[in-house]
Amino acid sequence: MSSNVFQLPEQVRSAADRVSGIGTEQEHLSFLEFFKILDRRKYIIGIITVALTTLAALFVMQLEDVYTSTALVLIEAPTNNAFDVEDIISGTPPDNEIFESQMELIKTRALAAAVVDELGLDTDPEFNPALRPTTMTGNITGFIGSITSAIFGGSSDGEDDPGQFALNPSESNLREEDELRRLKVVKNFMDNVDIARKGESLVIEISFTSQNPRTSTDAANAIANEYIVQQLESKLDATRRINDWLSRRISEMQEQVQAAENAVEAFKRESGLLEAKGVSLTSQQIAELNTQLVLARTSQSEAESRLLQVKRLMNSSQGVWAVSEVLDSPLIQDLRKRETAIQQRVAELATEYGRRHPTMMNARAELSDVRRKIQAEVGKIIGSLEYDVDVARARTASLDEDLEQLKNRSADLNTAEVQLRALERESNASRTLLESFLATFKQVGAKADFDIQQSDARIVSEAPLKLTPSGPNRKLMLAVAFAAAFVIGVLAALGTEHLNQGFRSSDEIEKISGVSVLSLMPQVTNAKLRARSVADHVLSEPLSPLSESVRTLNTSLTLSNVDQPPRVIMFTSAQPGEAKSTGSLSLARLQASSGKRVIVIDADLRRPRIHVMLGMKRAPGLVEVVAGKCSLNQAIKTDKGSGLHVLSAGAEVTNAPDLLSSNNMKELLSQLAESYDMVIIDTPPVLAVTDARILARYVDGVVFALRWAKTKRQVAVHALNQLQKTGCHISGILLTRVDTTQHAKYDYGDSGYYEGKIKAYYRG
């Protein structure tokens, strides 16, 4: 026996983390794999499809004929006037939203209840469930309704919720039951109503379906008539509400307008913003002062100019006589004449008298007096001009001061005018709004007598009596039922495929566990083979697929270590029922029949199977040899069919782990390894007891039996991890009980084993 200890590959240690990954990858099915799944699960699909289609056919055959009648209602496009009250009373142009709204109005519970009362449908068993006799269809419908309620929690639109129409607790139970029955009648009636727009036209189709053709016709026409009546009533109510609201609003607005106008006038008085002909008094005063100031400045300029000219002329060569004011003065003109006359007289006296003559002196004195008077008068004229300049300047300054004061006051008044304008705008807006409301009120009153009597819709075609059933379309329903049943069957097949968590191929096992597959052992399905031991098959049918799989197992074990092939080989599994004993005994008998010295040891001390499969006695066996109660030769038995040496389990023990881990067990295995070409040990499942993990430390290789498509991935990986912790060498996995027919339907690399053209190589 080799003493080498091997470790599992690194990927095995994390295999448990990758088990869920296969499920994710399998969700992405290829087109071919999808049809392979359907082929593998065709019986599930067929059973479900046939069963559901049959149930649907029974249901459809029980359905009664129904009749559908349709009334056409035209939605008028109202002609809007300039005033918007038309939109309030008559409506708005019929666009898509309006059509949707009108159709919803036709579907209202109130309208349906009115039609139910009008036609007395509460006494019709078709709409009143309490009056219906029990039928198969009713039972099936009730069953489906119960399932729907359980899944979705009752009616999706809340139509049947009695809490929405709870009665007064003080009312009797009888009244409550009557009300609930009536609600169900109305609900059943509404379920038979269908409202649709006819193409892109302005016409709404009101259809009603019933088992009675007369009822379908009467109901469709009654719905259309009730819709028109309710439209007229709603318009009348709308007009009445508008009038009441306008009256109250106008009274309020009149008070608001009066208050706003009073506020404007009061503010004018308080702020001094008095006006004349639309212009404030302050503005008028400023304008007048500006005019006066311009005139005053003009007068001042003229006076200053005259004074300046006079002073300039007085200093000129011409003297004061060049001044027009001096020349134009009558007094100066008289004085100048006297001066001239006196100068002539002085000139005459000068020739007659001498300078000192008294007459001469008197004449000169008179001349000087005249000249003084002229100078005095000239001085007065110049003083008058200077006075005029001073007066003009004083007037200009006074006007400037007055104007500045008015401007300062005007700045203060401008602020007040801003507030005044705001008050005036508010007053004007209130008055404008009041006038608009008064006009609206008059128009509403004028239009009420005419427009309210006209509806925005009219019936263009009443529903005719239909004697030809409109449904049910049984062929279509059966076709849909068949398609739905088939889809459900396919989904069930996919679900079954997905829920099956067993291994089906070598690639899948190696990808998850990291351990190679040694061989695929086919499932023996022949009844004759079931009656005998499967291990006999490798001897009786050496060319069968089962025998070939055992040879493949032996070859794989040999090639697992070419230089030193394993001699002590242990067979184990994750759990019972995985054909590990069959695999170990088949390999042992096949090798023994080929002339090799082979011994098989049944180390499953709790549930031994080898002696049963070979028809031998259980004791003496391994227990007696290890315990020293008998010799090895006394315990070994020989299989007559193959010459295989067999060491059965022996007597029952309670301390199997202690026995298998003893030194005697180690020595026994060493002795057998030297005496035999191959020692095969059959052990209990890894997850059942610890025996397999104890023995795994003493063998050259471990063959892990794994049942095809049955053992869960998580279980297998967990068992492999348990073995890996012992430090043993896992030679590989034996995939047992493979259904080769089903296996061939999978798109795996090893799917063709033992099937198809390869099957010609086998017999038996």
Question: Going by C-beta distance under 8 Å and a sequence separation of 6 or more, which residues neighbour residue 423?
Answer: 260, 263, 264, 267
Confidence tier at 154 by pLDDT (50, 70, 90): very low
CA–CA gap between residue 685 and residue 662 (Å, rounded)? 20
Confidence tier at 388 by pLDDT (50, 70, 90): confident
Looking at residues 276-294, what average pLDDT do you find? 68
Confidence tier at 412 by pLDDT (50, 70, 90): low
Residue 462 has pLDDT above 60, yes or no: yes
CA–CA gap between residue 218 and residue 465 (Å, rounded)? 9
Entry pTM = 0.48
Strand pairing report for 730-738 and 275-276 = unpaired
Please report, for the chain, the start and end positions of each structural domain, with discontinuous segments joined by +: 10-40+501-761, 64-232+455-473
Q: What percent of the chain has pLDDT over 90?
A: 21
Top-confidence residue, 187 or 399: 187
* pLDDT computed for residue 214 by the predictor: 92
Q: Cis before residue 472, ω within 30 degrees of 0? A: yes
Among 115-124, 350-359, 456-465, 623-632, the minimum mean pLDDT is found in 350-359
Q: What percent of the chain has pLDDT over 70?
A: 73
Q: 3-class DSSP state for residue 206? A: strand
* pLDDT computed for residue 222 by the predictor: 92
CA–CA gap between residue 414 and residue 465 (Å, rounded)? 82
Cβ atoms of 219 and 210 within 8 Å: the answer is yes
* pLDDT computed for residue 627 by the predictor: 92
- For the structural domain made of 10-40+501-761, what CATH number should be given? 3.40.50.300
Cβ atoms of 701 and 569 within 8 Å: the answer is yes
Residue 544 has pLDDT above 50, yes or no: yes
Cβ atoms of 643 and 593 within 8 Å: the answer is yes
CA–CA gap between residue 326 and residue 313 (Å, rounded)? 11
Query: Could you identify the residue written with the tokens 């074990």?
Result: 557
How does pLDDT run across 308-367, given as a tens digit for each residue? Answer: 767 666 665 555 555 556 656 677 667 767 777 777 777 777 777 767 778 777 777 777
Q: How crowded is the C-beta side of 378, counted as CA atoms within 13 Å?
A: 21
Confidence tier at 536 by pLDDT (50, 70, 90): confident
* pLDDT computed for residue 695 by the predictor: 95
CA–CA gap between residue 24 and residue 20 (Å, rounded)? 7
Give the gyration radius of the chain's Cα atoms. 64
CA–CA gap between residue 488 and residue 494 (Å, rounded)? 10
CA–CA gap between residue 483 and residue 475 (Å, rounded)? 12
Structure tokens at 587: 């390999």
Name the phi and psi angles at 415, rounded to 5. Answer: -60, -40
CA–CA gap between residue 750 and residue 507 (Å, rounded)? 8
* pLDDT computed for residue 379 by the predictor: 72
In 275-355, which residue ranges form alpha helices assigned H by DSSP? 281-314, 324-327, 330-352
CA–CA gap between residue 575 and residue 568 (Å, rounded)? 22
Question: Going by C-beta distance under 8 Å and a sequence separation of 6 or more, which residues neighbour residue 643?
Answer: 592, 593
Strand pairing report for 517-522 and 730-738 = parallel
Q: Which of 88-92, 154-158, 734-738 has the highest mean pLDDT?
A: 734-738
Structure tokens at 612: 């049963």
Residue 687 Cα distances to 67, 154, 666, 716, angstroms:
69, 49, 23, 9
How does pLDDT run across 239-284, given as a tens digit for each residue? Answer: 778 777 877 878 887 788 888 777 777 776 666 665 544 556 666 7
Among 63-67, 538-542, 571-575, 605-609, the minimum mean pLDDT is found in 538-542
Question: Going by C-beta distance under 8 Å and a sequence separation of 6 or more, which residues neighbour residue 636?
Answer: 599, 645, 646, 647
In 501-647, which residue ranges form alpha helices assigned H by DSSP? 506-513, 527-531, 537-540, 545-559, 580-593, 610-614, 622-627, 632-635
* pLDDT computed for residue 746 by the predictor: 62
Top-confidence residue, 567 or 504: 567
Name the phi and psi angles at 731, rounded to 5. Answer: -65, -35
b/e per residue, 689-706, with b = 16+ CB within 10 A?
A: bebbbbbbebbbbbbbbb
Cβ atoms of 729 and 5 within 8 Å: the answer is yes
Query: Could you identify the residue written with the tokens 């006494």?
Result: 123
Residue 673 has pLDDT above 80, yes or no: yes
Confidence tier at 416 by pLDDT (50, 70, 90): low
Region at 577 (left for phi over 0; alpha for psi -120 to 50; beta for the rest): left
* pLDDT computed for residue 667 by the predictor: 94
Tell me the residue type at 505.
Answer: S
Cβ-in-10-Å burial (0-12, 13-18, 19+) of 62 comes to middle
Strands lying side by side in the sheet with 701-707:
517-522, 730-738, 701-707, 568-573, 678-682, 598-602, 645-647, 637-638
CA–CA gap between residue 43 and residue 676 (Å, rounded)? 50
Residue 710 has pLDDT above 60, yes or no: yes
Among 29-43, 81-95, 693-707, the minimum mean pLDDT is found in 81-95
Question: Going by C-beta distance under 8 Å and a sequence separation of 6 or more, which residues neighbour residue 268?
Answer: 274, 275, 420
